[in-house]
Amino acid sequence: MPPTRFEPSQIKNKHKREQILQKIRKVKTQAKLQKRLALAKAEANDPEAKKKRLAENVPRTLDNMREFDPSIMTADPSSSNQAEGSTSAEAIQNEQAADISTDPFASYFTTDDPSIPPKVLITTSFKASKTTYEFCDELVGIFPGAEFRRRKKGKGFEMGRIAGWAADRGYKHLMVVNEDMKKPNAITLVYLPNGPTAYFKLTSVELTQQIFGHARATPHYPELILNGFVTRLGHCVGRMFQTTFPPLPEFAGRQVVTLHNQRDFIFFRRHRYAFRSEEKVSLQEIGPRFTLKLRWIKKNIPAVYNLGESPAALTIEKDDEEDAPVEESENKEEASEEQPTRKKTIPPKQDEYLWQWKSELETTRRTFFL
Amino acid sequence: MSRFIFGDDLGNIKVLRYLPDAASPEENASIKTVHSEATSENRTAIQRISTCLIGRDNDTLLATASSNASLALHTLSEEDELKTVCNWTEKRLKDNYFVGLTASTSAVWSCTSNGALRRATFSTESSSITQEDKGSLPTRLRDWKLSSDAKNFAYGGEEVDLSVWDAELAFRAQPTAEASNASGKKRRRADTLFHGEVWRAKNLPNDSLSLRQPVRITSLSFLPNSGSGHSLVTGTLGNDVRRYDTRAARRPVADWKVGKVGGIKTLQAGLNEHELFVSDQGTNLYAVDLRNGQILYGYPGIAGAVTAIAVSPTTIASTSLDRYVRTHTIIPPAGIVGTRLDTKGAVSSKTYTNCIPTCIVWDGIHAKAAEAEEDEEDDVWDEIEEVSDGEDSDNSEAPRKKRRNLKS
């Protein structure tokens, strides 16, 4: 009778079982090592074979197995499944282009002087602590047009109201760093005067002095790199970050800010680059390093709920315009000359969510939204 | 097969066709653009849309109101061809927006948030409005709806309580006798109804701290199933849904907290009895039972606030701020109040649109495709010849013989 094979796992004695299994594992790893060495030797002489092997064996990762999202902005819509079946690829592209060119950030691209940095107001949540103030110091150094103000306590200092005042004074952004347990944990970025509000969770904050071998920042306007913003929502977020920096960078400063989006996490890095030769560049990291994750985007600036305000009386507007249009226009000209009134931005009474992260939306591990 | 028409933020009008019995779940909904707005610097968003069926030809009248104060009337054929009938503008709009638009077979009613009411009478032959009537309503309106028999309309808004007006009297100028009386009195009671106003709601009593409840109506709807123009339902900024009966009392008949986040965005009464669809400013869309205010079920998987809901007998369609137009299945409420439903409504299709869709409406044409298919099947069976089989059992022989007699 030929010897029957039994599995090592049937050995009840633990020490003996471990011994046998270690022997088997060693044999296997040795065999694998020999195989790899032989392959490396063969490919050292034949680079074509190596290329062929690499081309055939592309590993599947979450990034390249990503779930299809119809809002991914592609240069060639006809290649992917079209949601709107009967319209042509050109019509879809025109529509997407029109949508982007008329979104709230469009005015940034049509400014007269691209070297004026957009004004950013940076503040914290009420009663912030030292770590948050240090982080805000770093933020003021990142954005060329940034200013820091302490946040006051009370009913009249809600985020929506502050956004209204900032909008009236010509600020383009309001950035509120929220604190929890003595550490900054979130950033709310509001585009003014009535643009979207985005809320990001802030993690992995490392300040400049904590980075070993960091470079020194200069006040030059940085260049901007935005990676991985693929979907329509991603475009919205990417453009929002783009509008915080001046449109025309100063190349003499050799500073670059990178916002790299991978798997819905946005990594912020700031580097200084130097050309060591015509082909080689070296990077030295400046400045803080942090990670953001988008939680929600609201359509307008933050709402202010004032439930206790006294009710206004019912009024009916009088309809004068139709009767005397000529007189009206004359009056209007006089009025505008007399009072160059500052526009008053009133915060809305309702928040409308453009997008909100919900765990039920992540149906698979390969679903990403930005 | 249902057809819905929606407008979006750039001014395009698109048609969504939903086929519940399509081969694969990806093909059950398709969108076609019937009108593309030329791109300009500012967006001319379509703020309100309304349809009305014309009797002949199964054409649909489509009225749209845009953010640049222009209103238009189109006819949409069954093959999705759009033809513009007439255009007109609402000059009193200024910085406000349209809160209500209804099209009937002879006139189009529109209302803005600063109270500019207009009824434009048209005829399909002429390319301009034949008659325009204007009315003035209070400012700060947030929603305006015309009742199904077009005799009354209702509005509500910020510190503007729910009001029902007579549709004809609203357009007549306020008689001068009333004006002189008012100037004679020292103080005009804030409670007196405007000329043309039929009924005005009263605010809820003060809460447990004796504080006045703010009036912040964000949306309202007539309930078509219960009586003509007597039952209304409003949604407020405090996530409340209140039900009113104009015959019973001025205070709401029922007050329920339905929404979760940010206040009620839009309400739409369902075509089944006691059904109401509610969406709030967060990502929630619920079906609510009107008898006890309980949420029957919600629709999962929506990432942005639902801006508009359109109801048809078999499905509902919704547009939301995350650029998707979805259709949903409906489960009608149970006969006995409070019984749990076995199945819940689900999202049956979702289609991506390139711009944010703002308003959606059902075109009113009932689906007849299923019945036609059944008739075809019967014809095929009738044409097949009967073949006799001697081996069959006795049971089948007798009915077979009968059938053969009929055939011959």
Q: What is the pLDDT of residues B176-225, one digit of tens each?
A: 545 545 554 555 566 788 888 999 999 999 989 999 999 999 999 999 87
**Does position B403 have pLDDT exceeding 80, yes or no?**
no
Q: In a mutagenesis test of the B interface, which of A232, A329, A352, A369 is the best target, namely the one with the most B β-carbons within 10 Å?
A: A352
Nearest-CA distance B323 → chain A (Å): 9
| Cα distance between residue A264 and residue B28, in whole Å | 30
State the pLDDT at residue A89: 79
Q: What is the pLDDT of residues A105-153, one digit of tens each?
A: 998 998 888 889 999 999 999 999 999 999 999 999 999 999 999 999 9
Q: Is A71 on the interface with B (CB under 8 A)?
A: yes
Which comes out higher in pLDDT, residue B378 or A368? Answer: A368
Q: How many CB pairs under 8 A join A and B?
A: 134
**Does position A96 have pLDDT exceeding 80, yes or no?**
yes
A-contacting residues of B 59-98, CB under 8 Å? 91-92
Nearest-CA distance B229 → chain A (Å): 24
Question: Which chain A residues have a beta carbon less than 8 Å from that of B354?
Answer: 84, 92, 95-96, 99
State the pLDDT at residue B93: 86
Contact A81 B212 (CB under 8 A): no
Q: Tell me what the mean pLDDT of segment B69-73 comes to.
A: 90
The listed range with the strongest mean pLDDT (A25-34, A152-161, B8-17) is A25-34
State the pLDDT at residue B220: 94
Q: Tell me what the mean pLDDT of segment B240-267 comes to.
A: 93
Strand, coil or helix: what is A101?
Answer: helix
Sheet hosting strand B116-121, strand order edge to edge: B98-103, B107-112, B116-121, B131-136
Give the chain A residue whose CA is nearest to the CA of B135.
Answer: A319
Q: What is the pLDDT of residues B99-111, one digit of tens each?
A: 999 998 888 999 9
Q: Tell me what the mean pLDDT of segment A183-211 comes to.
A: 95
State the pLDDT at residue B337: 86
Question: Which chain B residues have a beta carbon less than 8 Å from that of A85?
Answer: 30-32
Q: Tell me what the mean pLDDT of segment A14-22 comes to.
A: 96
Local confidence band at B396 (pLDDT 50, 70, 90 cut-offs): very low
Q: What is the mean pLDDT of chain B?
A: 84
Q: Tell me what the mean pLDDT of segment A319-329 comes to.
A: 48
> Closest partner residue to B304 among A84, A97, A355, by Cβ?
A355
Q: Is B219 on the interface with A (CB under 8 A)?
A: no
Local confidence band at A331 (pLDDT 50, 70, 90 cut-offs): very low
Contact B262 A308 (CB under 8 A): no
State the pLDDT at residue A260: 97
**Between vectors from CA B303 to CA B300 and to CA B308, what angle results, nearest 5°?**
85
Strand, coil or helix: what is A64?
Answer: coil
State the pLDDT at residue B95: 84
Q: In a mutagenesis test of the A interface, which of B354, B355, B356, B358 is the best target, namely the one with the most A β-carbons within 10 Å?
A: B354
What percentage of chain A reaches a pLDDT higher than 70?
Answer: 91
Contact B10 A81 (CB under 8 A): no
Local confidence band at A189 (pLDDT 50, 70, 90 cut-offs): very high
- Reported ipTM: the value is 0.83
Local confidence band at B172 (pLDDT 50, 70, 90 cut-offs): confident
**Does position B282 have pLDDT exceeding 80, yes or no?**
yes
What percentage of chain B reaches a pLDDT higher than 90?
Answer: 43
Give the chain B residue whose CA is nearest to the CA of A355.
Answer: B304
> Closest partner residue to A299 among B160, B212, B321, by Cβ?
B321
Contact A360 B300 (CB under 8 A): yes
